[in-house]
Amino acid sequence: DVQLQASGGGLVQTGGSLRLSCAASGFSFDQYVIGWFRQAPGKEREGVSSISSSDGNTYYTDSVKGRFTISSDKAKKMWYLQMNSLKVEDTADYYCAVAPFVTSPSVSRWVYNYWGQGTLVTVSS
């Protein structure tokens, strides 16, 4: 079974940084994309960033461009989301997900087949 484990959340002040990690096991897809999503209380799950395994292309939603960086260590099946200049509105549960056989990065949640559990990021003012 494909399993994803997100970690690295926590409490940080406005302007601070966190690095989220996503560890995967049980899959050996040659092509896939990894996505990071977030869901704040009472809101829809929102795509934040995505990276393609085939060419390393990335995508960021507008609200995090210039602040967040997605990266990967494919050999270790680890993916990361470096979050800098955090804002109160970044507070949410953050999830990683994988979309097998997809080559272009995407933040559409309907593309993703496998999801990890959330890791909570709380940004205080």
Rounded Cα–Cα distance for residues 5 and 35 (Å): 13
Residue 47, Cβ neighbours under 10 Å: how many? 20
- Determine the pLDDT at residue 10: 98
- Determine the pLDDT at residue 37: 98
Q: What is the pLDDT of residues 21-32, one digit of tens each?
A: 999 998 788 899
Amino acid (1-letter code) at residue 83: M
Amino acid (1-letter code) at residue 70: I
Cβ partners under 8 Å of residue 66, min gap 6: none
Q: Which residues pair with 6 in a beta bridge?
A: 22
- Determine the pLDDT at residue 44: 96
Q: Which residues pair with 8 in a beta bridge?
A: none
CB 4 within 8 A of CB 76: no
- Determine the pLDDT at residue 28: 86
Grouped pLDDT means (10 residues each) for the chain, 125 residues: 95 98 90 96 96 95 98 92 98 97 93 95 97
Tokens coding 113: 């087949």
